[in-house]
Amino acid sequence: AAKQGPRTVLVIGGGPGGYVAAIRAAQLGAKVTVIEKDRLGGTCLNVGCIPTKCLLHSAELVSRIREQGAEIGVRVSGLEVDFPQVIAHKDEISKRLTGGIAALFRMNRIGRVEGEASFLSPNSLSVRRKDGSAETMTADAVIIAAGSVNAQPPIPGLRENPNCIDSTGALSLEKLPESMVVIGGGVIGIELACAYSAFGTRVTVIEALDHMLPMLDAEISAVGIEHLKKRGVEFHLECPVQSVEPSPVGAKVVCRDKGGELLAFEAEKVLVAIGRRANTAPLNLDAAGIQNDRGRILVNDRMETNVPGVYAIGDCVFGKAMLAHTASAMGEVAAENIMGQPAVYDQKTNPACVYMEPEAASVGLTEEQCREKGIDYIVGKFPMNANGKALILNGGEGMVKMIADRKYREVLGLHIIGPRATDLISEGALALRLEATLDELITTIHSHPTVTETVREAALHAEGRAIHT
Ligand code: FAD
């Protein structure tokens, strides 16, 4: 029989990790209080996933009309980007969604405390409210969901220059910049490069490594980068930034290329997107003896820290994907374990998505990873230009790549670039969860005309029985 769980739960942070954990714990009968120092919804709803996708949606409409309008018979004269309205629309969507969380908290009788939490001991927290007052709170279990903040690289001249912004700054500009240098070719840098280039900003991306979007299969990311190059985005790889200098334009970024030459790029705005770090410094983890690696909390697959009764989830944990759905999945696992329902977090089914144009998404093993692990695998591919719906949606740019175990035909990975890739990837995640075989995907009927057919076609191709290629 399930043991009786603790009844009181304190959740630190109201982002997609914390608010989902709170609701799940409340559903299972816990008395839950969420401590949030800023706004409900965390990074994701206020300055992350949702705001970027809003900008990207406006951007995609513009680029579709510019890049495909004549071909599809939609000629627009005087097409204009009303940038302040783009930003205002984004703010409106964020507001609606964060208001929705407040309503869910009321429905689930979840308490809210506005303030900043820090540990006094393993089971007690001090919460400092905005008015300066502080109170001590205790509970049977604590879930740390403190998230992350943008990392600032120690580049000389960067901090002092007001035209150097982070992703949060790039989501609240008052005016569309004419030019932008993006430092960092990861997901956040590329998504914002995609949005701003569609709006008409001249964008240059600078990356210290030898490739962009390292979380994607190399063949898939190459298609996305090619698309952005065609749109005029410039990419400089293996070009670590040395310094930022003042410039009448805005800022001058000085880099050293592979050959040792110094290159300088001037732009109105410089977006620093080199990654994020755990937001645990104010938590005083040492007072509770919580093990961490440079602020990232160490957890097992039940989301337990080394301290009994203290759990950690989301961006503030060590060694896991820093994504909203990851944080939410971990939140449900933590809440269930606290309430006596054993659960584990399974990284295997966790998709990674890039909402550029065309969209890209990946779940499971890449070819590179299969080779490293010595797995005997087969690959099936299908080009988007052989699918009717994809041809209609974006001219057929992109591809699907299915990876399966050679002997058992079990699906090991799905990698997609093309229209609606970030929605399509769920079929791959489900296949991995169910340990599905290629034959099981093939014998599932996919509706026509949809891009979902491309996933089935990739499975057919892996089996050497492609119909449409
Ligand atoms: P957060 O969302 O960071 O929430 C943590 C909360 O805790 C915050 O509200 C903070 O104020 C609060 N807090 C912190 N410390 C304390 C304290 N001591 N006391 C009280 N409150 C505290 N992920 C995706 O899956 N898809 C995307 O498309 C995507 N796009 C992104 C775009 C950008 C520009 C950025 C920056 C991120 C994006 N992410 C995306 C990542 C995603 O936002 C994060 O993975 C997700 O928000 C992590 O959730 P979390 O609950 O762990 O932390």
What single string gives the DSSP state of each residue in 365-417? --HHHHHHHT--EEEEEEEGGGSHHHHHHHSS--EEEEEEETTT-BEEEEEEE
Give the Å distance between the CA of 2 and the centre of ligand 1.
Answer: 32
What atom in ligand 1 is closest to the CA of residue 313? 52
Q: Helices in 152-295 by DSSP H: which ranges? A: 167-170, 187-199, 218-230, 285-288
Give the Å distance between the CA of 53 and the centre of ligand 1.
Answer: 15
What atom in ligand 1 is closest to the CA of residue 170? 34
pLDDT tens for each residue of 321-348: 999 999 999 999 999 999 999 999 999 9
Q: Is 249 helix (H, G, I), strand (E, B) or coil?
A: coil
Decide if pLDDT at 2 tops 90: no
Decide if pLDDT at 60 tops 60: yes
Count of CB atoms situated within 10 Å of the CB of 440: 15
- Please state, in angstroms and rounded to a whole number, the distance separating the CA atoms of residues 290 and 118: 12
Strands, DSSP E only, in 145-249? 148-150, 164-165, 179-183, 202-206, 234-236, 241-246
What atom in ligand 1 is closest to the CA of residue 17? 51
What atom in ligand 1 is closest to the CA of residue 331? 51
Give the Å distance between the CA of 41 and the centre of ligand 1.
Answer: 8
- Using alpha carbons, list the distances in angstroms from residue 459 to 6, 90, 380: 47, 38, 6
Residue with the smallest CA separation from ligand 1 atom 3 is: 147
The type of residue at 147 is G
Count of CB atoms situated within 10 Å of the CB of 286: 9
* Number of DSSP helices (H) and strands (E) in the chain, helices first: 14, 25
Q: Which of 44, 46, 296 to mutate to test the pocket of ligand 1 (most atoms within 8 A of CB)?
A: 44
Residue with the smallest CA separation from ligand 1 atom 35 is: 48
Q: Which helix (H) or strand (E) holds 47?
A: helix 42-47
Average pLDDT, the chain: 96
Residue with the smallest CA separation from ligand 1 atom 14 is: 146
Give the Å distance between the CA of 344 and the centre of ligand 1.
Answer: 21
Q: Which residues are catalytic?
A: 448
Start-to-end CA distance of the chain, whole Å, equals: 54
Burial environment of residue 28 by CB neighbours within 10 A (0 to 12, 13 to 18, 19 or more): middle
Residue with the smallest CA separation from ligand 1 atom 22 is: 13
Residue 215: predicted pLDDT? 87
Q: Are 305 and 299 in contact (CB under 8 A)?
A: yes
DSSP 347: G
pLDDT tens for each residue of 336-379: 999 999 999 999 999 999 999 999 999 999 999 999 999 999 99
Residue with the smallest CA separation from ligand 1 atom 6 is: 13
Q: Peptide bond before 248: cis, by omega within 30 degrees of 0?
A: no
- Please state, in angstroms and rounded to a whole number, the distance separating the CA atoms of residues 207 and 267: 16
What atom in ligand 1 is closest to the CA of residue 38? 11
Give the model's confidence band at 4: pLDDT under 50 very low, under 70 low, under 90 confident, else very high: low
Residue with the smallest CA separation from ligand 1 atom 26 is: 49
Decide if pLDDT at 3 tops 50: no
Residue 290: predicted pLDDT? 98
Count of CB atoms situated within 10 Å of the CB of 98: 18
> What's the whole-number mean pLDDT along residues 19-34?
98
> What's the whole-number mean pLDDT along residues 58-66?
95
Residue with the smallest CA separation from ligand 1 atom 37 is: 48
Residue 6: predicted pLDDT? 55
Q: Which of 43, 152, 323 to mutate to test the pocket of ligand 1 (most atoms within 8 A of CB)?
A: 43
pLDDT tens for each residue of 388-442: 999 999 999 999 999 999 999 999 999 999 999 999 999 999 999 999 999 999 9
Q: Which helix (H) or strand (E) holds 24?
A: helix 16-27
pLDDT tens for each residue of 179-211: 999 999 999 999 999 999 999 999 999 999 998
Give the Å distance between the CA of 324 and the centre of ligand 1.
Answer: 7
Give the Å distance between the CA of 99 and the centre of ligand 1.
Answer: 17
Q: Are 403 and 365 in contact (CB under 8 A)?
A: yes
Residue 130: predicted pLDDT? 87
Q: Are 361 and 429 in contact (CB under 8 A)?
A: no
Give the Å distance between the CA of 377 and the centre of ligand 1.
Answer: 36
Q: How many CA atoms lie within 13 A of 378 on its CB side?
A: 17
CA-only gyration radius of the chain, Å = 24
Residue 346: predicted pLDDT? 94
Q: What is the largest CA-CA distance in the chain?
A: 70
Residue with the smallest CA separation from ligand 1 atom 12 is: 13
Residue 195: predicted pLDDT? 98
Q: Are 380 and 461 in contact (CB under 8 A)?
A: yes
Q: Helices in 273-420 by DSSP H: which ranges? A: 285-288, 324-338, 367-373, 388-394
Q: Are 338 and 5 in contact (CB under 8 A)?
A: yes
Burial environment of residue 175 by CB neighbours within 10 A (0 to 12, 13 to 18, 19 or more): exposed
Give the model's confidence band at 218: pLDDT under 50 very low, under 70 low, under 90 confident, else very high: confident
> What's the whole-number mean pLDDT along residues 14-18?
98
What atom in ligand 1 is closest to the CA of residue 315? 52
Q: Are 188 and 352 in contact (CB under 8 A)?
A: no
What's this model's pTM, rounded to 2 decimal places?
0.96
- The ligand 1 site (C-beta within 6 Å) comprises 12-18, 35-38, 42-44, 48-49, 52, 116-117, 145-148, 167, 188, 279, 282-283, 314-315, 322-325, 327, 355
**The pair of three-digit structure tokens given for residue 218, joined into one six-digit string:** 């190399």
Decide if pLDDT at 1 tops 70: no
Residue with the smallest CA separation from ligand 1 atom 36 is: 48
Give the Å distance between the CA of 286 and the centre of ligand 1.
Answer: 23
> What's the whole-number mean pLDDT along residues 163-167?
98
Q: Are 206 and 232 in contact (CB under 8 A)?
A: no
DSSP 272: E
- Please state, in angstroms and rounded to a whole number, the distance separating the CA atoms of residues 363 and 128: 41
Q: Which of 323, 326, 330 to mutate to test the pocket of ligand 1 (most atoms within 8 A of CB)?
A: 323
β-bridge pairing 269-272 and 179-183: parallel
Give the Å distance between the CA of 322 and the centre of ligand 1.
Answer: 9
